[in-house]
């Protein structure tokens, strides 16, 4: 109960959970603290030695009205947490998930997420993942997933790590996009100290008229090292992809971006844009001309980029 | 140039005369700080002050092509100018003809039209309540309705005691000013009432009569 309350408090979702319409799952280390489902959603859990296997299935045509809440925490010393997540949205199903990953302790911790997501024909899945880390930079997190987006299906995910220190983050997502599907991936990460940020997002548009947008917004302060690889391969007629990467560097860190685009059909199109470097001088001077200090102006600009 | 509180001035001149450069020098922008002469506010030199320090004294600039900010909401942009006075934000937007409920949550990015961005720039000036403001071509790229708002904002700023310096090519704006400076090749060649300078500018400068060589062109003894 103590752990549960701490997770609720840190995720700032006290009062959200508890009604019969809201499905939720709370895990601390390898222990399932609480779980609740709703009609049309099947939730299977298996505790392992160092993590939990999770299977989520939304039945055909079922629309989960209220967002489902996942909360993964490591509230104890020097722990590894492996989450094997298998999510299936059957044909025409709709689900939104708010996922909080909470690593508040100063002791080293590792969180490994291996996701297998299958969004079947006409289904819609929105996944918002917010990380809350300690200020020590001692967390290492590895969110990895393979996502299959079926015909006419929609997938949208926002990944946010703005509060606390990153430590090390290694995002690795593969999207396989079928005909008429649409996918959006946005990662917003703010690093400080000696944080390390690695983002790899790949989308293969194999179906006609499939669309994918991969966006990254990274702030690298102090000695943070950030590396972003966004790759889109468009194989079918009418498929469209866009890669958009913004990395702001403050201090003595290093930022790299590798937007890679590949088109294998004459009627497909992929575009990309990348902006790396310090804060734009013109933007800075605009805000400073309104009375903000250099530092305040930089913070506001970065906050905007990560918003 | 001598600028007095609560008056509207125009800075006119052909392209390349140095109007925007003068504005950047006044504001102390990067690359425009190594100057001869001096800039004084209330008799004290501000030449060595940073952009922020000058702004804190009440000097500001509205750019001809205002910067765009990825993700930064209009509300936060205006709040940065408002000295924490929240009431000013919505009022300022209304004053430039933008509905707060429609614009506060929007980003100050490329999704705004040029005219909308310029109105928001003016709104941020209203929020700031500066003592001296340079408006760099506030009329360029705006429609007739927005131009009316530009005039209203100029009058509003004047009423609250702000010295307004407008860089413009517009005779319409020039005629609304009380004093005008005509700049050519980095030199002020005329200072007079807005109407007089408008006439001279129209006849001699719109099609340059002396190929931007202002020597001997000074019309009045200033």
* Residue B130 C-alpha, separation from nearest chain A C-alpha, in angstroms: 9
Average pLDDT, chain B: 88
Q: Which among B71, B89, B135 is the top mutation candidate for probing chain A, defined by the most A β-carbons within 10 Å of its own β-carbon?
A: B71
Q: Which of left, alpha, beta for A78 (phi over 0: left; psi -120 to 50: alpha)?
A: left
- Of B43, B21, B18, the closest CA to residue B32 belongs to B21
Take residue A264 and report the two structure tokens written for it: 């294998």
Q: What average pLDDT score do residues A46-60 get?
A: 94
Highest mean pLDDT among A218-222, B11-15, B169-173: A218-222
* ipTM over 0.90 threshold: yes
pLDDT tens for each residue of A126-180: 999 999 888 888 899 999 999 999 999 999 999 999 878 999 999 999 999 999 9
Residue A7's pLDDT band (boundaries 50, 70, 90)?
confident
- Of B163, B207, B149, B150, the closest CA to residue B60 belongs to B163
Shortest CA distance from B29: residue in chain A: A285
Whether B195 has a pLDDT exceeding 90, the answer reads no
* Residue A273 C-alpha, separation from nearest chain B C-alpha, in angstroms: 14
> Which residues from A are below 8 Å from B76, CB to CB?
300, 303-304
Q: Which among A275, A279, A288, A294 is the top mutation candidate for probing chain B, defined by the most B β-carbons within 10 Å of its own β-carbon?
A: A288
Contact A59, A29 (CB under 8 A): no
Residues 6 or more apart whose Cβ sits within 8 Å of residue B34: none
> Which residues from A are below 8 Å from B73, CB to CB?
304, 307
> Which residues from A are below 8 Å from B49, CB to CB?
none
Contact A297, A304 (CB under 8 A): no
Contact B112, B120 (CB under 8 A): yes
Contact A233, A204 (CB under 8 A): yes
What is the reported pLDDT for A173?
Answer: 96
Residue A293's pLDDT band (boundaries 50, 70, 90)?
very high
Q: In sequence order, what are the beta bridge partners of A110?
A: A80, A140
Contact A306, A217 (CB under 8 A): yes
Residue B214's pLDDT band (boundaries 50, 70, 90)?
low
The pTM (predicted TM-score) of the whole model is 0.81
- Of A118, A167, A123, the closest CA to residue A145 belongs to A118
From the list A246, A293, A294, the residue facing B70 with the nearest CB is A246
What is the reported pLDDT for B222?
Answer: 39
CA dist., res. A217 & res. A306, Å (int): 6
3-state secondary structure of B26: helix
Residues 6 or more apart whose Cβ sits within 8 Å of residue A2: none
CA dist., res. A168 & res. A122, Å (int): 36
A80: buried, middle or exposed (CB in 10 Å: 19+, 13-18, 0-12)? middle
pLDDT tens for each residue of A59-107: 999 999 999 999 998 887 767 899 999 999 999 999 999 999 988 877 8
Residue B138's pLDDT band (boundaries 50, 70, 90)?
very high
Question: Over pLDDT 70: what percentage of chain A?
Answer: 100
Whether B209 has a pLDDT exceeding 70, the answer reads no
What is the reported pLDDT for A134?
Answer: 86
Contact B102, B93 (CB under 8 A): no
Contact A7, A28 (CB under 8 A): yes
Residue B118 neighbours by CB distance under 10 Å: 27
Q: Which residue has the tokens 């080293």?
A: A108
- Residue A152's alpha-carbon distances to A102, A183, A205, A225, A241, in angstroms, are 34, 10, 12, 38, 16
A-B CB pairs within 8 A amount to 71
pLDDT tens for each residue of B49-108: 999 999 999 999 999 999 999 999 999 999 998 876 778 899 999 999 999 999 999 999
Whether A194 has a pLDDT exceeding 90, the answer reads yes
pLDDT tens for each residue of B6-51: 999 999 988 888 999 999 999 999 999 878 899 999 999 999 999 9
* Residue A79 C-alpha, separation from nearest chain B C-alpha, in angstroms: 36
A78: buried, middle or exposed (CB in 10 Å: 19+, 13-18, 0-12)? exposed
Q: DSSP strand E in chain A: where?
A: 24-28, 31-36, 41-47, 51-58, 68-73, 79-89, 94-103, 109-119, 124-133, 139-149, 154-163, 168-177, 182-191, 196-205, 211-220, 225-234, 240-249, 254-263, 269-277
Contact A285 B56 (CB under 8 A): no
CA dist., res. B126 & res. B82, Å (int): 9
What is the reported pLDDT for A98?
Answer: 95
Take residue A67 and report the two structure tokens written for it: 């967002």
**At residue B191, what are phi and psi to the nearest 5 degrees?**
-140, 120
Whether B221 has a pLDDT exceeding 50, the answer reads no
Residue B30 at interface with chain A, using a CB cutoff of 8 Å = yes
* Residue A160 C-alpha, separation from nearest chain B C-alpha, in angstroms: 15
Residues 6 or more apart whose Cβ sits within 8 Å of residue A297: A279, A283, A284, A287, A288, B52, B80
* B 142-181 residues inside an 8 A Cβ radius of A: none
Q: Which residue has the tokens 């297998």?
A: A116
3-state secondary structure of B183: strand
């Amino acid at each position: 109960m103590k752990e549960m309350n701490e997770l609720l408090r840190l995720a700032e979702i006290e009062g959200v959970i508890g009604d019969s319409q809201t499905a939720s799952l709370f895990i601390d280390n390898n222990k399932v603290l609480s779980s609740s489902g709703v009609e049309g959603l099947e939730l299977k859990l298996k505790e392992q030695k160092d993590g939990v296997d999770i299977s989520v299935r939304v039945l055909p045509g079922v629309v989960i009205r209220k967002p489902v809440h996942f909360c993964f925490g490591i509230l104890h010393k020097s722990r590894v947490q492996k989450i094997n997540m298998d999510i299936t949205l059957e044909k025409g199903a709709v689900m939104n998930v708010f996922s909080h990953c909470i690593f508040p302790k100063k002791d080293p911790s590792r969180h490994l997420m291996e996701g297998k997501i299958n969004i079947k024909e006409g289904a819609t899945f929105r996944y918002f993942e917010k990380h809350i880390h300690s200020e020590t930079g001692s967390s290492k997190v590895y969110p990895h997933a393979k996502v299959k987006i079926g015909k006419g299906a929609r997938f949208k995910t926002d990944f946010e790590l703005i509060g606390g220190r990153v430590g090390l983050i290694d995002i690795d997502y593969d999207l396989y996009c079928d005909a008429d599907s649409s996918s959006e991936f946005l990662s917003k990460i703010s690093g400080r100290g000696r944080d390390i940020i690695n983002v790899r997002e790949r989308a293969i548009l194999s179906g006609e008229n499939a669309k994918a947008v991969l966006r990254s917004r990274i702030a690298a302060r102090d000695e943070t090292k950030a590396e972003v690889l966004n790759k889109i391969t468009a194989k079918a007629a009418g498929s469209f992809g866009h890669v958009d990467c913004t990395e702001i560097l403050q201090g003595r860190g290093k930022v790299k971006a590798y937007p890679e685009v590949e088109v294998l059909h004459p009627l497909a199109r992929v575009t990309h844009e990348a902006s790396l470097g310090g804060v734009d001088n013109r933007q800075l001077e605009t805000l400073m001309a309104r009375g903000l200090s250099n530092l305040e102006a930089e913070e506001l600009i970065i906050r905007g980029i990560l918003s | 140039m001598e600028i007095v509180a609560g008056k509207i001035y125009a800075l006119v001149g052909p392209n390349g005369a140095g109007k925007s450069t003068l504005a950047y020098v006044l504001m102390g922008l990067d690359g425009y700080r190594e100057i001869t002469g001096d800039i004084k506010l209330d008799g004290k030199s501000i030449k060595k002050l940073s952009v922020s320090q000058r702004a804190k004294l009440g000097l500001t600039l509205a750019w001809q092509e205002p910067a765009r900010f990825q993700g930064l909401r209009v509300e936060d942009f205006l709040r940065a100018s408002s000295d924490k006075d929240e009431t000013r934000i919505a009022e300022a937007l209304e004053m430039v003809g933008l509905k707060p409920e429609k614009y506060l949550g929007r980003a100050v990015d490329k999704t705004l039209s040029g005219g909308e961005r310029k109105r928001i720039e003016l709104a941020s000036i209203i929020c700031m309540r500066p003592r001296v403001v340079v408006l760099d071509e506030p009329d360029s790229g705006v429609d007739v309705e927005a131009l009316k708002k530009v005039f209203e904002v100029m009058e509003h700023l004047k009423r609250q005691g702000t010295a307004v310096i407008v860089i413009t090519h517009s005779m319409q704006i020039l005629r609304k000013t009380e004093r005008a400076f005509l700049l050519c090749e980095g030199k002020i060649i005329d200072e007079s009432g807005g109407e007089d300078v408008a006439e001279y500018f129209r006849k001699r400068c719109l099609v340059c009569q002396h190929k931007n060589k202002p020597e001997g062109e000074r019309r009045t003894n200033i």
